[in-house]
Amino acid sequence: MLGLMQEQPLLISGLIDFAARHHHDGQIVSRRVEGDIHRTTYAAAARRAKQVARALDRLELQFSDRVATLAWNGYRHFELYFGIAGSGRVMHTINPRLAPDQIAWIANHAEDQVLCFDMTFLPIVKAVWPQCKTVRQWIALCDADKLPADSGIRNLRSYEEWIGSESGDYTWPTFDERSAAALCYTSGTTGNPKGALYSHRSTILHAYGAALPDGIGMSASDAILPVVPMFHVNAWGIPYSAAMTGAKLVFPGAALDGASVYELMEKERVTLSAGVPTVWLALLNHMREKNLKLSTMKRTVIGGSACPPAMIKAFRDDHGVTVLHAWGMTEMSPLGTVCHLKNKQLELPADQQLAVMTKQGRAVFGVEMRIVDPAGKELPWDGQTSGDLHVKGPWIIASYFKGEGGDPLVDGWFPTGDVATIDPDGFLQITDRTKDVIKSGGEWISSIDVENIAMAHPAVAMAACIGVPHPKWDERPLLVVIRKPNAQVTRDELLAFYAGKVAKWQVPDDVVFVDAIPLGATGKVQKIKLREQFKSHVMASPT
């Protein structure tokens, strides 16, 4: 027997309609590529999203046709999120940090019909447009009078001119909630990128999960600055959850340096932010140098890579900001876990709380987790035993777009490629990527543990630990370090810093100081490149 409730599909259009009706003057503030600050509201964004829908109708785009974006976080990108998916097309966000050839490959693979880009990315578009066979309309996200006359790009229009002549009077179509809504390709460190094809249902359920108090936690009393990009994994779903809750949105555009982010946080009274550790490093350094404090910020979500405990402590002790360590991935919409203390942990001393907060946190309802050994046997949640992390749930992929890579699931679970422990309270700790684990003498060394210790040293700005081939031990850890400006620390001092913090055999064999560490398109350290670079490194103190 079925229940007797109203059958209403979960659709992305419902989010923007809700925001326009219940938070019509809810603010959307954007630092534009043009450099100025732009202000609009949910009601205006909803109207313009409908203009986008009409403009796509006029181009005769069919249901599920893909429309791509190469854009920063801003109001136009936000409008596209809802206009494209709301009208039944698929919002395909492309990461502009990928190499132009990869971008062209992705656009062709996705069969994008329209591609909208911020002017910052004009050089990329100039380079790739002839290769993008399926794109029949290019849209520059600018006013009509800013459109370059001599770009050479065929079928190029400005966004404002494109939607400007369309009416904002439009009724969103209703369809199966399992329909495709958004497409995002993995960064693809090995092989070609693969697409995660989100549905309306998965997006709405994820938006609920992300907005929960123990998720990212969003409400109409928040002002949220997503540093995490809308061009990758939907800015952790923040655009959707913000519309769901009516939170004020503050978009930083292209200016992600410490000074710009700080200025926007203070001027717009931001309460909540989200981003990868590298961005926060820049912000913390800027504030330290200029002796600045955050006055309205309460929480920041840090994910994408493991957040060093020293960063959590700096935000807490220097700025009264709670770092919410989080973990997820493209294939998970992306949210998996967020680190919030439980009731029973609220009375713990600060250092014990910090120990909890350095973990990636607990699953949001909608995400099931397990850790397994190489034979697929489930491992205990004891906080000690590490294994391959598998996940399952309604906002996790079943397969990749066009079936690339075959069936990724193992007994219905998605193998994340992460190695993790889970403690009895359900707190996940990523100890490594499967491929980054350092195998030394039959034992595993967590590269993240080694890095976190280095990051706690006052002279270290950034650290990456990789395994280097070793004749006897298989691999041994090498620490690659960027020193802070004007800071001094020697190899021996840094290695001595490990004493008592890890077992002796887990201490790196050597340290190399560098000026830069290669980062991938999503801001993660490219260990594959580091391993290549240092594969013949001779350790100064061979074991």
Q: Is 167 in the site for a second copy (CB under 8 A)?
A: no
Q: Which residues contact 206 (CB under 8 A, 6 or more apart)?
A: 237, 240, 333, 335, 366, 395
Contact with a second copy (CB under 8 A) among 22, 39, 58, 133: 22
Window 337 to 366, contacts with a second copy (CB under 8 A): 340-344, 346, 362-363, 365
Residue nearer to a second copy on the CB measure, 174 or 490: 174
Question: Is 186 an active-site residue?
Answer: yes
Contact present, 106 and 98 (Cβ < 8 Å) = yes
Closest contact distance (angstroms) between CB of 356 and a second copy is: 12
**Angle at which helices 309-319 and 447-455 cross, to 10°:** 40
Q: Which of 105, 86, 93 is nearest to 69 (CA)?
A: 93
Window 305 to 324, contacts with a second copy (CB under 8 A): none
Query: What gap in Å lies between CA 288 and CA 293, rounded to an integer?
Result: 9
Of 40, 69, 186, 358, the active-site residue reads 186
Residue nearer to a second copy on the CB measure, 47 or 457: 47
Query: What gap in Å lies between CA 13 and CA 540, rounded to an integer?
Result: 60
Stretch that binds a second copy, among 16-24, 103-111, 118-126, 382-390 (CB under 8 A): 16-24
Stretch that binds a second copy, among 109-117, 137-145, 162-170, 221-229 (CB under 8 A): 221-229
Number of other CB atoms surrounding residue 490 within 10 Å:
11
Sheet holding 114-117, edge to edge: 90-93, 66-70, 114-117, 137-140, 156-158
Q: Is 217 in the site for a second copy (CB under 8 A)?
A: yes
Q: Is 24 in the site for a second copy (CB under 8 A)?
A: yes
Q: Is 64 in the site for a second copy (CB under 8 A)?
A: yes
Closest contact distance (angstroms) between CB of 58 and a second copy is: 21
Geometric angle at alpha carbon 485, from 483 and 489, rounded to 5°: 40
Q: Is 54 in the site for a second copy (CB under 8 A)?
A: no
Window 97 to 126, contacts with a second copy (CB under 8 A): none
Window 383 to 402, contacts with a second copy (CB under 8 A): 392-401
Of 41, 189, 298, 444, the active-site residue reads 444
Question: Is 529 an active-site residue?
Answer: no
Q: Is 301 in the site for a second copy (CB under 8 A)?
A: no
Q: Is 67 in the site for a second copy (CB under 8 A)?
A: no
Q: Is 208 in the site for a second copy (CB under 8 A)?
A: yes
Closest contact distance (angstroms) between CB of 109 and a second copy is: 14
Q: Which helix (H) or strand (E) holds 79?
A: helix 75-86
Closest contact distance (angstroms) between CB of 483 and a second copy is: 39
> x-or-dash pattern for a second copy, window 399-428, by CB under 8 A?
xxx----------x-x---------xxx--
Of 160, 166, 177, 331, the active-site residue reads 331
**Does 334 sit behind a cis peptide bond, omega within 30 degrees of 0 on the bond before it?**
yes
As given in the structure block, the two tokens for residue 19 are: 């925001």
Window 236 to 275, contacts with a second copy (CB under 8 A): 244-248
Query: What gap in Å lies between CA 94 and CA 229, rounded to an integer?
Result: 11
Query: What gap in Å lies between CA 387 and CA 393, rounded to an integer?
Result: 19
406: left (phi over 0), alpha (psi -120 to 50) or beta: left
Q: Which of 154, 183, 171, 217 is nearest to 401 (CA)?
A: 183
Closest contact distance (angstroms) between CB of 334 and a second copy is: 13
Closest contact distance (angstroms) between CB of 186 and a second copy is: 13
Q: Is 213 in the site for a second copy (CB under 8 A)?
A: yes
Q: Is 172 in the site for a second copy (CB under 8 A)?
A: no
Geometric angle at alpha carbon 183, from 177 and 188, rounded to 5°: 145
Closest contact distance (angstroms) between CB of 398 and a second copy is: 5
Residue nearer to a second copy on the CB measure, 82 or 414: 414
Stretch that binds a second copy, among 13-21, 284-292, 382-390, 450-458 (CB under 8 A): 13-21
Of 126, 439, 484, 529, the active-site residue reads 439
Contact with a second copy (CB under 8 A) among 37, 212, 372, 502: 212
Contact present, 520 and 526 (Cβ < 8 Å) = yes
Residues 245-268: b if buried by 16+ CB within 10 A, e if exposed: bbbbbbbbbbebebebbbbbbeeb
Catalytic residue ranges: 186, 331, 439, 444
